[in-house]
Amino acid sequence: MLGKRKIAALVAEFLGTGLLTLLILSVQRSTIGVPFFVAMIAGLATVAMVFALSDVSGAYLNPAVTLALWTARKLSTLRAVVLIAMELLGAWVAYYVYTYLVNTHLSNIGGHFSGRTLTAEAIGAGIIGLAWAAASFNKWNKGLTAAAAGVSYMLAMVVASTAGIGIANPAVALGIRSWVWGTYVLGPLIGTVVIVNLYGLLFAEGNPLGLKLKAATSAVKASASSTSSSAKTTAAKKKSPAKKSSSSNRSKKR
């Protein structure tokens, strides 16, 4: 059974992602060629949504972020799958709300696969992943998390726009009709997953990589100590017969 809190989390992720997509659609379609203005509005919208909804659902608003936190074991499998579904659904509904309001349909603006676009999207999304990793592993408060999420998304869109539309969010890509698997979906997924896990392994307190390094160091030291002890024992055994032979020769002389 779904309790009130679980339903609230689903609705929050749906509404947050939907409103973010609707804002980006409205600004992007009316200010073609002004990526900085679109990025600024998207960043401010993210701050507002995360601040308002993070206590309810986490307000990740981005399937790439949700997936990355799942790979870092910050979210359960079921929760991650359901949140991603609601994020995509929210963005999809936002498209139809926008087209209803402007009374027109939008053409696909995703284009075709491009290695440069994939790389730009991955780098941009990596900035978002870095902010969310720091917030999650260090357990930042709501205000700091909201600020980091908003600023990182703004910077991510600026970076990603150097070789494409500049989305860094697969859900938003679906909502603005830029759903291209090889670029605007795969790029953000790669960027966030890699950065979130690198942060967890290298920078987080009590990180798994550090534990592995300590374990490896201990194993090497133990092996070296065991080898040294074995060498000393062998040397002692070699000396013992010599001493015994010397003492027996002395007794014969007597």
Q: Using CA atoms, how far apart are residues 163 and 244, in angstroms rounded to an integer?
A: 83
Using the CB atoms, write b or e for 98-126: b if 16+ within 10 Å: beeeeeeeeeeebeeebeebbbbbbbbbb
Q: Three-class SS of residue 162?
A: coil
Residue 89 resides in a domain: yes
Residue 217 resides in a domain: no
Please name the helix (run of DSSP H) or strand (run of DSSP E) that holds residue 11, with its range, or none: helix 4-30
The number of distinct structural domains making up the chain is: 1
Residue 182 resides in a domain: yes
Q: Is the pLDDT of residue 99 over 80?
A: yes
Give pLDDT, residue 251: 47
Residue 229 resides in a domain: no
End-to-end CA distance of the chain: 98
CATH number assigned to the domain comprising residue 164 = 1.20.1080.10
Q: Is the pLDDT of residue 252 over 80?
A: no
Query: What's the pLDDT tens digit per position in 52-80?
Result: 999 999 999 999 999 999 999 999 999 99
Q: Is the pLDDT of residue 13 over 70?
A: yes
Residue 220 resides in a domain: no
Residue 253 resides in a domain: no
Q: Which of 185, 193, 2, 223 is nearest to 87 (CA)?
A: 185
Q: Using CA atoms, how far apart are residues 98 and 95, in angstroms rounded to an integer?
A: 5
- Between 157 and 234, residue with greater pLDDT: 157
Average pLDDT (172-182) is 93
Domain with 121 in it = 4-208
Q: Which of 58-62, 142-146, 164-168, 190-194 has the lowest mean pLDDT?
A: 164-168
Average pLDDT (92-102) is 96
Residue 50 resides in a domain: yes
Give pLDDT, residue 205: 82
Give pLDDT, residue 233: 56
pTM of the model: 0.81
Q: Is the pLDDT of residue 143 over 80?
A: yes
Where residue 216 falls among pLDDT bands split at 50, 70, 90? very low
Where residue 33 falls among pLDDT bands split at 50, 70, 90? low
Residue 122 resides in a domain: yes
Give pLDDT, residue 31: 62
- Between 179 and 213, residue with greater pLDDT: 179
Where residue 209 falls among pLDDT bands split at 50, 70, 90? very low
